Structure 1
């Protein structure tokens, strides 16, 4: 831990990035959520769900991805046993299938952006397919990321499968219900979904960068509680915000707008 604490000037620099981002981005909670989505998503209006006339911070596919990811993360992250073993072959197969359908539907959706002969289109894409394939991919990411997190961070972790089939089915059910609620575009649902999906972006990036810093400074299997890794997570969070700030700056520099990309 001392190797990280020694870099306080670096931490201060990271904090200035966060402050600059807070000042420069659109005001309000939804404005900040939009700025987070702006850093990781194309935000095409036609491929997004809408809160009234306002599109969500992330497109339909990314909304599904980050909702699926945060659901999967929460089901695993606070497990007292810190399970990090491989799940059953059935679950692994389903997660791989989720990944395949994500890229297949994404490719089909992508080629629809171009005015080519319709015979090359596989099928007509829609936001229902986007959110469900995105959610499946988000779950797949979470069931890889969190076992890696447990194995890397904790002094003691369990080789027990990260999730049992019964709990996995519960996760699928919850994710499916949330997706259906989002598809309804009920404002009472979409407002918290907008904030939750944006928070999920920060959460996933924070976990990834926390792992990166732990590996860089040689603190693997060093922690015994979440409280003991507070500083590492803080550095991971600030690094995530640096990425978001830089991506926002570059995109805004070239487009001059906080709106999503536009295709004729």
Structure 2
């Protein structure tokens, strides 16, 4: 009797999840074309506004979008071609490293990897995060005029940020995949030490491009780092949306994720804009000059 009750409970749970799935997708698992079309139109409108709305420049709008997350201190920023990047050196490194790492993982066919790296690799990646914490603490002490270990430098901020962004991508993707996908996938996001050959040259290229402060890298760095920030915030939104809709471990194809990912990124844009406005109001209240 107890076994039959348990089976009925599982069946009810599956039915509920199926009903929730069909709210956004037809019976074949494909998202509604109308929903995809509406999301695409919304994104095209936002992109057009970002590029051509009268007033501020494209870079100014990216700076505004990112300002709720980043302090954007002029002395902590890089200036390719004489233009300040939307994010400070450390955050440029973090979110540039994050998005580049995700791109490489997906390009290598490990986009559904659900296993973390081996323990030795995890400790090494954690070391990069610790370096950022040490450098950030030292920089904070300098800003406060307190005793510190060494004089901060924007290139050091950039380097520790890139290492942290790399670690974020390697650690976060398996956690999200474990929550999303129905079928087991034992692939590791970073399978071995040898696999570093795919990531380290790309991260070094990012570092050299930003360090050169050449005008040619201004827009690629600004766009990629801002996309990295949107992806990081959108990933958190996606986790909450999946949990709230009880859709964990129910997806089998990327196309099924389109509606949730679309809403997660839209929400991320709205959240960043709200944070930016809140920062302005807070600074005005405290009489702090932006």
Q: TM-score range by the shorter chain?
A: 0.7 to 0.9
| Structure 1 segments unaligned to the other structure (5+ residues) | none
Deviation at 1:168, TM superposition (A): 2.3
Instruction: Tell me which residue corresponds to 1:246.
Output: 274
- The equivalent position to 1:159 in structure 2, one of 177, 183, 186, is 186
Equivalenced residues, count: 247
Deviation at 1:191, TM superposition (A): 2.0
- The equivalent position to 2:260 in structure 1, one of 232, 235, 246, is 232
Instruction: Tell me which residue corresponds to 1:124.
Output: 151
- The equivalent position to 1:150 in structure 2, one of 177, 197, 200, is 177
SS at match of 2:195: helix
More off after superposition, 80-89 vs 141-150? 80-89
- Superposed counterparts of 1:90-239, under 5 Å: 90-116=120-146, 120-164=147-191, 165-239=193-267
Contact 2:96-2:165 within 8 A present in 1 as well: yes
Q: Deviations over 1:61-94 (max 9, x none)?
A: 0000011101111122455452221212331121
For 2:268 and 2:202, the matched residues in 1 are separated by 28
TM-score, normalisation: structure 2: 0.77
Instruction: Tell me which residue corresponds to 1:89.
Output: 119
For 1:3 and 1:25, the matched residues in 2 are separated by 42
For 2:168 and 2:95, the matched residues in 1 are separated by 10
For 1:39 and 1:196, the matched residues in 2 are separated by 18
User: Rg bigger for which structure?
Assistant: 2
1 or 2 for the larger relative contact order (CA 8 Å, sep ≥6)? 1
Root-mean-square deviation (Å)? 2.7
TM-score, normalisation: structure 1: 0.84
- Superposed counterparts of 1:25-104, under 5 Å: 27-77=56-106, 80=109, 82-104=112-134
Deviation at 1:261, TM superposition (A): 7.0
| Structure 2 segments unaligned to the other structure (5+ residues) | 1-17, 25-34
